[in-house]
Structures are given as structure tokens and as C-alpha cells.
């Protein structure tokens, strides 16, 4: 255990150079609160049983202790990868593997509840370790939710909120993406806006998960970003949309009365297209029963969020509802009657606009469909459906291909 602990300590030490990291505890708690309210994946149950995984490390130019430590670390990482296979569709793992590697798999020990080495040894220049491990499934699913991994691609707009703020016109702007800041304070507007957007199905990426991906180029660390800068930074942070702008509070009288104003815009990361542009001003009227706590930033977020959400979701909703040609491949067909049962079921489905063609060759059938919706809906409709004489499983194999397997009913 000691070599692994030393290795883990060295890895953790590399990322402690971000001096402002401690200020994000409050922000992280906000994100933890509203992300943990999302329903857990039904496949979490698969993680309740121990997972068995192996890892190897070359022994050449290494002593056996170092090779054993690296092999053990690789085995634990393989266990977490195995858990990802239970939790996520295969296409999401392939498409977002660099993000998963950087955010989830770089520190596998953070998800390991306990482990036991069941076999180890050296052969052919490799040290091999096999472990049986139990994971903290709640921690893993929580972090995957923060990365938007449980949403379908058409529902996936992941947001980097890049909004500068200040609580006094005489003060300088405060912004979280300035990586060399020592005196930055936790933002007030960001968690308020993020919570409201998350409730509408959008995924605001937590700043504490993004700090390591911020380019050191000074042009990306300005408090008020241009559209092109914001889109480029959002791309670097693996976000689909950047929410840019600024919010500020200004006292207007005695006590804590004031005005809070904001001007925001949502920009697509891949094209720089402006999806929404909003601005508003709210009055801050404290009283003895309700003193100023957040300078009116929560009220301003409530005013701006609906318009931002509508603009951001509009292109995704249009894509998901547009008619499209879809191929449905059916494997394990016993007779043409199986296809008739599936056809009758599809004709009752609201996502099917038209069934154009049915074919059967050997034990493989196919449907040519016009889908009035997203292929994910078709996959969900056919996954685990009981047709009386058989049950089907379904898998989305591409943007326009769904594969169905006929299973014998027990």
C-alpha cells in the first residue's frame, strides 16, 4: 500500500499549485446541492457488487515495488472504467473519452471505497495485479452528472458560465476563470444562475472541474470576454455554449438599497453564433425581515434565466423534433410474425411518423422509418419491451441506426 499512497500523494501534489482553489468550496457546495437532486441512473445497482479488474506495468528499468504500484493504480483505473461501462452508453464513452480521462480517470482512488488484491506477479517483463474493488457509486454518478454525461446528445447543451461581477462600481471586476488570482472571492451570481438553468435540463459545468483546462493565454483571462474569446474558451472547457457578460450592484440610497443590473448573451462554442441576448435591472429593497444577502443577484438570475434557457434550447429542440430517416435493424428474428408484432407496436408510437419498408433475410430483419423525434426515444421504447412471446433489447448504434435484439422470454 505504501508505494501506491506515495504515488497518489505525488499526483495530488501536482494540482495544488492553483492558489485560488480553496475559494471554490462554497461554489462546489452549490453545485453539489442541485446536481444531487437529479434522479440516479438505474444502472447504479450494478455497482453494488464488487468489480474485478487487472493492471500491468513493465518491470524494465523499474524496481519491482514501483512496477507493482503502477500496476495497482492501473487496475483501479480499469475498475472505474468498467463502472463507466455500466453507467454510460458506449457512444458517450467513445465520444467524450478525453473528458472522462481528464476529469474522472486521472484520480481513480477518489472513487474506490475498498479493494483487495486477489492475484499479482511478474511474467514476461510485466508486473500484473488483479483487484476486487467496491466503488463509491454516488461520487461517480455525481461527477458524471456535473459533466452532463447522462443526457442524450440532442439534450446536451453544457454551459460554461463566464460572467464577471462586482458589488460596488468603485471595485474591480471579479471573475472565476482568472487562474492566477489570489484575492478572488466566490461568485454570487454564477451559482444562482446555474441552479435555475440546471432545473431546466441544461448542464452548467462546475468551475472547480474546469480550472485545469483554462488556457494560460492572457486573452482568455479578461473579465469581459468578446464573443470569439468566450466561444474559444468554452471549447477549451469542453462546453457547448458560453454564457458571457457582467452583472453589478450599485447602492442608490441610505442603507443597503440599490440597483442590480446585468447584460448577458449565450454563444455557441463551435460557431460563435449568438443564441440569446438578455439584460435586466432589479431593485434591491432590504428590510428588517429581509436584509441584503446576495446584492440582488438571485433576483436578477430569476429574471434572466428563462430567456437564456429558451434561446439555448431552441436549436437542440428543433433538431430533436425534425423528421429523419432511421434504420431499425432486428436480430434474432424467428419468423416474419415477429416483425409484424414490432410493426404494430411502432405504429402506435408517437415518435414514428411513417414505416416505409420491412425486410427479412435469414434471422435479420430491418425497418426503414421516418422518425418524428430523436432516435433515443425509439431506443428507449424498444429496450426491455415485452411482446408476449419475446422481449427486445435495443441499442443506439449511430445517429440514425438502432439495433434491436429479440430475446427469448423466460
407, 393 Cβ separation under 8 angstroms: yes
If you average pLDDT over every residue of the chain, what do you get? 79
Question: Does residue 22 form part of some domain?
Answer: no
Q: Give the position of cell 488483479.
A: 130
C-alpha cell at 19: 492558489
**What CATH number should be reported for the domain holding residue 346?**
3.30.70
For residues 91-107, give the mean pLDDT: 77
160 falls within a domain? yes
| Contact (Cβ atoms closer than 8 angstroms) between residue 129 and residue 55 | yes
Q: Choose the most confident range, by mean pLDDT, from 34-48, 91-105, 109-123, 318-332.
A: 109-123
Q: Same structural domain for residues 182 and 79?
A: no
Domain shared by 295 and 161, yes or no: yes
Does one domain contain both 163 and 236?
Answer: yes
Indicate if 168 and 305 belong to the same structural domain: yes
Q: Would residue 233 count as lying in a domain?
A: yes
Does residue 191 sit in the same domain as residue 279?
yes
- Beta-ladder partners of 349: none
Q: Are residues 104 and 163 in the same domain?
A: no
- 400 and 357 in a common domain: yes
More confident residue, 38 or 379: 379
CA distance 264 to 284: 20
Q: Average the pLDDT over 60-78 and give the result.
A: 85
CATH of the domain at 77: 3.30.1660.40
Q: How many domains does the chain have?
A: 3
Shared domain for 272 and 172, answered yes or no, is: yes
In the β-sheet with 203-204, what is the strand arrangement from edge to edge?
203-204, 158-166, 241-251, 258-268, 274-284
Boundary of a domain, candidates 304, 320, 336: 320
173 and 308 assigned to the same domain: yes
The answer, yes or no, to whether residue 93 has pLDDT greater than 90, is no
Per the document, the length of the chain is 410
- Is 29 inside a domain boundary? no
Beta strand pairing call for 51-58 and 112-123: unpaired
In a domain, 27, yes or no: no
Share above pLDDT 90 across residues of the chain, in percent, rounded to a whole number = 25
Predicted pLDDT of residue 107:
86
Among 168-182, 224-238, 318-332, 367-381, the range with the most confident prediction by mean pLDDT is 224-238
The residue segments making up the domain with residue 197 are: 153-320
Residue that terminates a domain, selected from 109, 126, 146: 146
Assigned domain for 370 exists: yes
Task: Read off the pLDDT of residues 128-183 as tens digits, 9 standing for 90 and up.
Answer: 999 999 988 888 887 887 666 665 544 567 889 999 999 888 888 989 888 766 65
Cβ neighbours, 10 Å, residue 336:
10
Residues 312 and 172 grouped into a single domain: yes
**Model pLDDT, residue 67:** 87
Whether residue 85 sits in one domain with residue 45: yes
State which H helix or E strand residue 85 sits in.
Answer: helix 64-87
Residue 1: other Cβ atoms inside 10 A:
8
Same-domain status, 309 and 349 = no
Please indicate whether residue 364 or residue 372 has the higher confidence score (pLDDT). 364
Q: What is the CATH number of the domain that holds 211?
A: 3.40.50
- Using the 3D structure, point to which of 289, 320, 351 is the last residue of a domain: 320
In a domain, 302, yes or no: yes
Instruction: Give domain status of residue 34, yes or no.
Output: no
Amino acid at each position: 500500500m505504501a508505494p501506491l499512497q506515495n504515488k497518489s500523494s505525488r499526483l495530488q501534489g501536482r494540482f495544488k499549485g492553483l492558489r485560488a482553489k480553496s475559494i471554490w468550496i462554497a461554489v462546489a457546495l452549490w453545485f453539489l446541492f442541485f446536481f444531487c437532486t437529479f434522479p440516479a441512473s438505474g444502472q447504479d445497482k450494478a455497482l453494488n457488487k464488487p468489480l474485478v479488474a487487472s493492471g500491468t506495468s513493465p518491470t524494465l528499468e523499474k524496481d519491482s515495488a514501483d512496477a507493482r504500484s503502477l500496476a495497482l493504480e492501473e487496475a483501479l483505473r480499469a475498475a472505474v472504467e468498467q463502472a463507466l461501462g455500466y453507467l454510460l452508453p458506449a457512444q458517450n464513452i467513445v465520444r467524450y473519452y478525453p473528458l472522462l480521462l481528464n476529469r474522472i480517470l486521472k484520480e481513480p482512488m477518489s472513487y474506490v471505497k475498498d479493494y483487495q488484491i486477489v492475484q499479482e506477479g511478474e511474467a514476461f517483463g510485466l508486473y500484473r495485479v488483479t483487484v476486487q474493488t467496491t466503488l463509491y457509486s454516488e461520487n461517480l454518478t455525481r461527477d458524471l452528472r456535473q459533466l452532463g454525461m447522462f443526457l442524450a446528445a440532442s439534450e446536451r447543451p453544457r454551459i460554461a458560465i463566464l460572467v464577471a461581477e462586482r458589488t460596488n462600481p468603485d471595485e474591480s471586476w471579479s471573475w472565476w476563470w482568472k487562474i492566477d488570482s489570489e484575492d478572488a472571492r466566490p461568485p454570487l451570481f454564477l451559482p444562482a444562475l446555474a441552479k435555475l438553468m440546471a432545473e431546466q435540463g441544461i448542464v452548467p459545468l462546475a468551475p472547480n472541474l474546469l480550472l485545469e483546462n483554462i488556457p494560460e493565454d492572457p486573452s482568455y483571462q479578461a473579465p469581459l470576454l468578446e464573443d470569439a474569446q468566450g466561444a474559444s474558451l468554452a471549447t477549451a472547457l469542453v462546453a457547448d455554449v458560453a454564457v458571457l457578460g457582467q452583472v453589478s450592484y450599485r447602492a442608490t440610497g441610505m442603507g443597503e438599497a440599490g440597483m442590480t443590473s446585468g447584460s448577458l448573451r449565450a454563444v455557441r462554442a463551435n460557431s460563435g453564433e449568438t443564441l440569446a441576448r438578455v439584460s435586466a435591472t432589479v431593485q434591491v429593497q432590504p428590510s428588517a425581515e429581509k436584509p441584503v444577502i446576495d446584492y440582488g443577484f438571485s433576483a436578477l438570475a430569476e429574471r434572466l434565466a428563462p430567456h437564456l434557457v429558451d434561446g439555448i434550447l431552441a436549436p437542440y429542440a428543433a433538431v430533436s423534433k425534425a423528421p429523419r430517416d432511421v434504420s431499425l435493424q432486428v436480430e434474432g428474428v424467428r419468423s416474419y410474425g415477429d416483425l409484424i408484432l414490432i410493426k404494430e407496436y411502432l405504429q402506435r408510437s408517437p415518435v414514428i411518423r411513417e414505416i416505409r419498408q420491412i425486410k427479412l433475410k435469414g434471422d435479420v430483419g430491418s425497418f426503414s422509418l421516418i422518425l418524428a423525434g430523436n432516435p433515443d426515444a425509439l431506443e428507449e421504447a424498444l429496450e426491455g419491451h415485452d411482446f408476449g412471446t419475446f422481449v427486445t433489447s435495443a441499442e443506439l448504434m449511430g445517429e440514425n441506426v438502432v439495433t434491436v435484439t429479440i430475446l427469448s422470454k423466460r
